[in-house]
Amino acid sequence: MEEILYGINPVREALSAGLELARILLAEGRGGADAVELKRLAAKRGTRVETVERRFLDRLCGHGRHQGVAAAVRPFAYSGIEAVLANRHPAAAEDLVLILDGILDPQNLGALIRTAHCFGANGIVIPARRASPVTAAAVKASAGAALHTPVAVEENLVRTVEMLKRRGFWVYGADASASPRIGATELCGRIALIVGAEGKGIRPLLRNQCDVLVSIPMMGKIDSLNVSVATGILLFEISKRRHI
């Protein structure tokens, strides 16, 4: 099902980020410099622009706060797990897969995809339920990285991890209470890193599948980090050993 974005800035940002837009809808009489710019960007991307009655946009968006602009976003194209495994970064000595357990906020999901992409991960694995899908908001938050990073959806993350272990992966889980610190941990071979939702962490069944649980040394009075920031630190430590 197509997702509807509305408002001049969200639609313009979606075009700039490379989102796959099925079409852009402009209300009759909608002019101005921003509409001209939108048409220019749409023409550059090959996106169709249609003129419709304003009341049609009101019904489509459920209100009249759309500024006379809306866009239909095509569903995100997920990859299979095999496509993720086949996508090793050319500068990496080994595979690196990021597994996200229960990330509900699309902004966090987008930031995590961006972080994984910047550190050369093969791709991302997310669960089919109890987690945010890759929405337009997540793609925008990823700064377009979601369009260049395979994301696989798996029904059962425990079985996915078991499969990865059979194929030679070492599975590391992020756990703030773990004794081993990431900087003092031997990180080698094919790695799957699992991170959980803020406040909840990795679910017990999946946590039990981890070969090693690791934490980040903290010095402040606040003992937690945003999940995307924490994941960035962990991926940096891993990348130092992967010759990127």
pLDDT, tens only, 166-201: 999 999 999 877 775 666 567 778 999 999 988 788
**140 plus 160 within the same structural domain:** yes
Q: What is the CATH number of the domain that holds 56?
A: 3.30.1330.30
Query: What phi and psi values does residue 23 have, to the nearest 5 degrees?
Result: -170, 160
CA–CA distance, 6 with 61 (Å, rounded to integer): 7
46/115 Cα distance (integer angstroms): 29
Give the least confident one: 1-10, 23-32, 173-182. 173-182
On the question of pLDDT at 244 being above 60, the answer is no
Cβ contact 69:30 at 8 Å: yes
User: In this structure, are 150 and 231 located in the same domain?
Assistant: yes
What is residue 144's predicted lDDT score, i.e. its pLDDT? 79
**One domain for residues 144 and 194:** yes
Q: Which two tokens stand for residue 53?
A: 């009655």
Across the chain, mean pLDDT equals 89
pLDDT digits (tens, 9 = 90+) for 111-137: 999 999 999 999 999 999 999 999 888
Same domain, 62 and 86: no
Residues 94 and 118 grouped into a single domain:
yes
One domain for residues 183 and 205: yes
CA torsion angle 176 179 181 185 (round to 10): -130
> Which of residues 25, 46, 73 is at a domain's end?
73
Domain with 181 in it = 81-240
pTM of the model: 0.84
Domain count, the chain: 2
Out of 55, 73, 91, pick the residue that ends a domain. 73
Least reliable range by pLDDT among 65-69, 107-111, 239-243: 239-243
Asked if residue 56 and residue 92 are part of one domain, the reply reads: no
Which range is least confidently modeled, 65-69, 222-226, 229-233?
A: 222-226
- Long-range contacts: 205-211, Cβ < 8 Å, 24+? 205/158, 206/101, 206/157, 206/158, 206/161, 206/173, 207/173, 207/175, 209/158, 209/161, 209/162, 209/165, 209/171, 210/171, 210/172, 210/173, 211/165, 211/170, 211/171, 211/172
Q: Are residues 51 and 117 in the same domain?
A: no
